[in-house]
Structure 1
């Protein structure tokens, strides 16, 4: 951290797109220690709270209001530590309870370009210790002339053009927060909603914790987009209740009504439905034959514009749990494929999942779990933060 004058602090930062998210990547030793002082600095840096984030680096959407803090590894078997921070938009909240798979995709390239790992060509494997979940992810980063490659022919739905594929290996993230793939020990549970409805759900914890339900059970088609969902106040409150009831069930919140205060990030809510044709956010047609099912992910009470990387990993794992909500939504034969195709608001995401039958609660064990992303450094420089903000 460098003081440039009496009124502002200058901190080096890198703005990166990771997958379908964008965030500020920071060196841990440039920041105050974890705690209130750091949080106050990050809030001011992002321009939160303000839905426009006009006085900071945030981009007015949750997917562009993310932070990655990178430092030396503190556990054996890792190359770097990575802490994910989600800045809220309209509330003074910095949340560390979960990870972001898309932002994770930028950590390997950042570490290579910042000299935190020794580059090897054509690929450098970066073992990333995510401090939020205490799990290790492995990023296979394409490298050329000692730098992370940017150009390539790999495309992901929700990002224009193509780039160099970074494969993210998540097979070590089962039980990310609770230590169990199925935190309740059940493949499905019933949540009693305030309306009196008994809603069948699956609560799964791989990469991040998600409560799954069927779109039709909450009065939806399954092909709704973010605008349709986010502007429906009644629906948002219903999804918040589902999230809160699941959070209370697994001990993330003392009461479902306190979920936004006690666990604002996790669990996500995902509602799934069978394959069907729909148009993406960009108006492009997506055909039923291109997907195994549709999924819409809700985090911090807003619909994700595409699909969270960690969300896709939990979805993929849940799809292999016999009789789970996700497993029931899949088309014929999808449970046997090693590439799962998830229809989301921006298109279709393809993930790798391979499991074997096991005599446990989930009925399976994970052998392979991962997905391809692209990432790109957009800007490197100094972000200025006014002094006097509690840091």
Structure 2
């Protein structure tokens, strides 16, 4: 029996924030993968090593967690006043599908760096020394993101002393601005920051009960619930949730019913094919705890605690897009996030997560009775880990 040889495709393996992914230029992909569809998805699945019934992704570039089973496709932007079009694919670990329903805020931190280094940003816009402002168009959520990338001697500066909890080594700081982060009709979340029209809803979840919930479309669709209502303190680490199959089933049930209530799906059965969105997170007032690295987090140093799940597991730190949702909800008096942080008006919040703390800023205002947030800001870092080619069997896609 004959087999096609492997092909090689230019790629870069990058860390962005607390995630890792394989980055491609659109024009470097095999021709049949340059347009959305089955061939592209099958190619990316093979690159990452999915579906893997062993859950390890040994035969691919994935790291067997939601944070490391990611792909990015970039191209020169077709949109005026933007530099690069950004497409993000969350690759399922154990199932044969790629979820294109949302963004990855962490990998956004690496988009600007990749774009500069790979000729997707006009050379005239790159300073010899200083900061390059990269204007990113996120195609899936139809939003503008601005990355402030440090430049030294005409090249991206990756090394530095900026420390990010959840990342072992320091690097250069990259400030990210998410402009108009709330869904106002361009996305698929119902055309409103609060798709139900309420800051807090009673969410009925069969087998669990009726939970208070803030359901918001900002950064990424997210369902926030109170930790105490589901038997948690809000200081849990990954092992407390991810080793408990019953807890994971409970969170997935909450997520599915939240997706239905938010209008993201029309039937509960659709939730299984939309794992990336919405996120489900639980919040609690400040409390002392030890982070996953053993570093103490003091209640006096944070405004609240938040734990969030991604692709069915508790995240080891915090998804960047969920951080935008947290900052946005915290800025709006009366949401569960805002109340957990003590209530009242605020333009920034520092929250505790399993790996430490993170600060995110957002300013909200009411316009004609509707809440609006023009910008959410956070700092991340990014670094190239490896560059060259990925190889996949020629008959894999």
Q: What is the TM-score when the length of structure 2 is the normalising length?
A: 0.93
User: Residues 5-24 of structure 1 correspond to what in structure 2 (within 5 A)?
Assistant: 6-24=4-22
Aligned residues: 381
Q: CA deviation at 1:160?
A: 1.6
Report whether the alignment pairs 1:331 with 2:342: yes
SS in structure 1 of the partner of residue 241 of structure 2: helix
User: Residues 286-305 of structure 1 correspond to what in structure 2 (within 5 A)?
Assistant: 286-305=297-316
Q: Which residue of 1 aligns with 2:216?
A: 204
**Is 1:18–1:375's contact at 8 Å kept on the other side of the alignment?**
yes
Match for residue 377 of structure 1 among 358, 370, 384: 384
Q: CA deviation at 1:368?
A: 3.6
In 1, the alpha carbon distance for the partners of 2:267 and 2:343 equals 39
Q: Which residue of 1 aligns with 2:193?
A: 181
In 1, the alpha carbon distance for the partners of 2:306 and 2:280 equals 10
In 2, the alpha carbon distance for the partners of 1:286 and 1:241 equals 30
Structure 1 unaligned spans of 5+? none
SS in structure 2 of the partner of residue 90 of structure 1: coil
Q: Deviations over 1:79-137 (max 9, x none)?
A: 10010001111111211100000011100000111121122230111010111111110
Q: Which residue of 1 aligns with 2:206?
A: 194
In 1, the alpha carbon distance for the partners of 2:267 and 2:37 equals 25
Match for residue 179 of structure 2 among 171, 178, 189: 171
Change in CA separation of 1:196 and 1:162 when aligned onto 2, cut-off 3 Å: closer
**Is 1:241–1:257's contact at 8 Å kept on the other side of the alignment?**
no
In 2, the alpha carbon distance for the partners of 1:358 and 1:276 equals 35
In 2, the alpha carbon distance for the partners of 1:218 and 1:60 equals 27
**Is 1:182–1:361's contact at 8 Å kept on the other side of the alignment?**
no
In 1, the alpha carbon distance for the partners of 2:188 and 2:270 equals 19
Q: CA deviation at 1:361?
A: 3.6
In 1, the alpha carbon distance for the partners of 2:94 and 2:69 equals 11
Match for residue 289 of structure 2 among 264, 267, 278: 278
SS in structure 2 of the partner of residue 227 of structure 1: helix
Report whether the alignment pairs 1:100 with 2:104: yes
In 2, the alpha carbon distance for the partners of 1:149 and 1:177 equals 36
Match for residue 246 of structure 2 among 225, 234, 238: 234
In 2, the alpha carbon distance for the partners of 1:251 and 1:331 equals 30
In 2, the alpha carbon distance for the partners of 1:357 and 1:260 equals 35
Match for residue 123 of structure 1 among 128, 131, 143: 131
RMSD: 1.5
Q: Which residue of 1 aligns with 2:46?
A: 44
Report whether the alignment pairs 1:62 with 2:61: no
In 2, the alpha carbon distance for the partners of 1:368 and 1:37 equals 36
Q: CA deviation at 1:387?
A: 1.6
Q: Which residue of 2 aligns with 1:137?
A: 145
Q: Which residue of 2 aligns with 1:244?
A: 256
In 1, the alpha carbon distance for the partners of 2:209 and 2:391 equals 50
**Is 1:123–1:143's contact at 8 Å kept on the other side of the alignment?**
yes
Structure 2 unaligned spans of 5+? none
In 1, the alpha carbon distance for the partners of 2:269 and 2:89 equals 23
**Is 1:186–1:361's contact at 8 Å kept on the other side of the alignment?**
no
User: Residues 286-365 of structure 1 correspond to what in structure 2 (within 5 A)?
Assistant: 286-331=297-342, 335-336=345-346, 338-362=347-371, 365=372
In 2, the alpha carbon distance for the partners of 1:48 and 1:312 equals 27
In 2, the alpha carbon distance for the partners of 1:141 and 1:29 equals 24
**Is 2:332–2:364's contact at 8 Å kept on the other side of the alignment?**
no
SS in structure 1 of the partner of residue 179 of structure 2: coil
